[in-house]
Amino acid sequence: MTDTQALSRQSPLVQALAHGLQGRIVLPSDADYDDLRKPWLQVVDQHPALIVEAASVADIVAAVNFARTERLVLAVMSTGHGIAAPCDNGLLLHLSKMKQISVDVARRVAQVLPGVTSDELLAATQPHGLVYAAGQVSGVGVIGYTLGGGMGWLVRKLGAASWAVLGANVVLANGSVVHASADTNPDLFWALRGGGGNFGVVVSLEMALEPIPAVVGGELYYPLDQAADLLRFYREWSSGLPDETSTIFRLLAIPPDDSSPPEIRGKTNCMIGLCHSDTESADAVLEPLYRFRKPLLNTVKRQTVLDLAGLDLASHSPGSPTYGQVEFLKALSDDVIDGLVQLAQTRIPPLMQIEVQQLGGALVHGATEQGAFTPSAAPYLLHLVTPAIKAPMAEIAKATQEAFASLGDAYTGEAYYNFLRGDEQQRVTGAFGDTKYGRLREIKSRFDPANSFHLNLNIEPASLSTTVRAEIFGTKAAENS
Ligand SMILES: Cc1cc2nc3c(=O)[nH]c(=O)nc-3n(C[C@H](O)[C@H](O)[C@H](O)COP(=O)(O)OP(=O)(O)OC[C@H]3O[C@@H](n4cnc5c(N)ncnc54)[C@H](O)[C@@H]3O)c2cc1C
């Protein structure tokens, strides 16, 4: 194993790796090491021995081979929105500079490289009236989001983003570059569509686009004291909506500064967000909503999915460590509604955002076998997320656990891969169910037998030996396996 302390710009190993790289190597002594090592969502504090900022597929192959031969742990980061485990003393493969996008308008297909973010892809497709099933926040990486499933503003219309994947080029743990599609390496193709970054480095992803030139969407804000009535209204209204409409309900604190409109500034508010993809029928969807209550603020209008994803008034600023947890709700029962209102009123912990995302629609109607992503039949997803600004992380974590516990047995117990925290490894099975998880482990055994890609929400190879397991996870874990 390489002595990582000894790595410097002059060391022969680093010089050999640097030779031929189109990108660059960044070492702890470099000025921008700190900027590059930090994920966008600062939930881990990692100190890699070296960072390879890749500019080409050959760079990625070189980095993967270097990590393997020098027995360094290897981690993959694109935007840093979903880092599950720190890369300490290892090689951090940074992909954010690889941003090429090509759009074949006639075929309605896009190909993206690993550094492409959601807003960048939409900006390239939207002028042609085309979209992909983007997430609710614009800066998330398209590939990372899609590999974990990808449920966003169009989830009830299009299902998961992973369903639209047509093919991928992947650098495997042994340094080879393979293609995965329905015809070539079909098992790998199946695993990539939901199984996250467990199977290799995806160096390009091809995905089908949908013709949705514009949507009617936006957010409606209401005072907190209407929360109980609004949630009951939301339950009835949302349950009758067509698949074209995706909705969310939030209870959220808006910062007191002038970054948000004065009507909602500095207060905890209720918010109903919607995205209706058939602009012709939007009036019928909106009419009951407008009839029910007059909002404090209404941003609903005809706009593009790109603009809608950039709208998020509550989005966290980069750099703020955040604690989040997600559970699938069996129903939006009266007990759940009362519990959520209570949580919002007591504001414990401060700044906690309570989000209910409506599921169903295409997730249920269109859910044939489309890769490893396993759609839940639950009607709603409950997401509690709190930036650690006004209270320490440990306090927020405890309060979040208590908040979930206060709603009793309201949950189905399933998990959503994209929203699991790094300390929820034991729930990865719950994102797939036993059968699919077993298949994922078999496929992992074939494509990454030594679990080189383990600094993630890990799917362990079925065949991982006790020796390799001990090297990665420590002797205790290996003995307990
Ligand atoms: C503010 C915010 C909003 C979000 N909104 C949504 C949402 O609406 N819907 C949803 O489904 N999810 C959402 N997510 C979760 C997000 O989709 C996941 O965290 C996803 O993994 C982020 O991918 P990334 O590449 O941006 O992040 P990174 O932190 O760079 O990557 C996360 C992991 O993905 C894997 N990975 C990334 N790129 C590659 C690649 N090219 N090859 C192989 N593996 C790779 C690696 O294992 C990596 O460790 C959100 C997250 C945040 C922080």
Residue type, 83: I
| Residue 408 clears pLDDT 50, i.e. is over it | yes
pLDDT of residue 314: 47
Tell me the CA–centroid distance for residue 72 and ligand 1, in Å.
23
CATH tag, 101-211: 3.30.465.10
Q: Give the whole-angstrom CA distance, residue 116 versus residue 113.
A: 6
Q: 2-45: per-residue pLDDT in tens?
A: 777 778 888 889 999 999 899 999 999 999 999 999 998 888 89
Question: Is the overall model pTM greater than 0.75, yes or no?
Answer: yes
Residue 21 contacts residue 59 (beta carbons within 8 Å): yes
Q: Give the whole-angstrom CA distance, residue 102 versus residue 204.
A: 11
| Residue 212 clears pLDDT 90, i.e. is over it | yes
Q: Give the whole-angstrom CA distance, residue 346 versus residue 342.
A: 6
Query: What is the pairing mode between strands 165-171 and 91-94?
Result: unpaired
Q: Give the whole-angstrom CA distance, residue 168 versus residue 137.
A: 24
Residue type, 403: A
Q: Which of 305, 328, 418 to mutate to test the pocket of ligand 1 (most atoms within 8 A of CB)?
A: 418
Using CA positions, which residue lies closest to atom 51 of ligand 1? 81
pLDDT of residue 158: 96
Q: 420-458: per-residue pLDDT in tens?
A: 999 999 999 999 999 999 999 999 999 999 999 999 999
Of 285, 202, 211, 183, the residue nearest 244 (C-alpha): 285
Domains 101-211 and 215-414 share a fold: no
Element containing residue 434 per DSSP (H, E): helix 434-447
Ranges of each domain in the chain: 4-94, 101-211, 215-414, 433-480
Tell me the CA–centroid distance for residue 145 and ligand 1, in Å.
4
> With a 6 A CB cut-off, is 140 part of the ligand 1 pocket?
yes
Using CA positions, which residue lies closest to atom 34 of ligand 1? 144
CATH tag, 215-414: 3.40.462.20
CATH tag, 4-94: 3.30.43.10
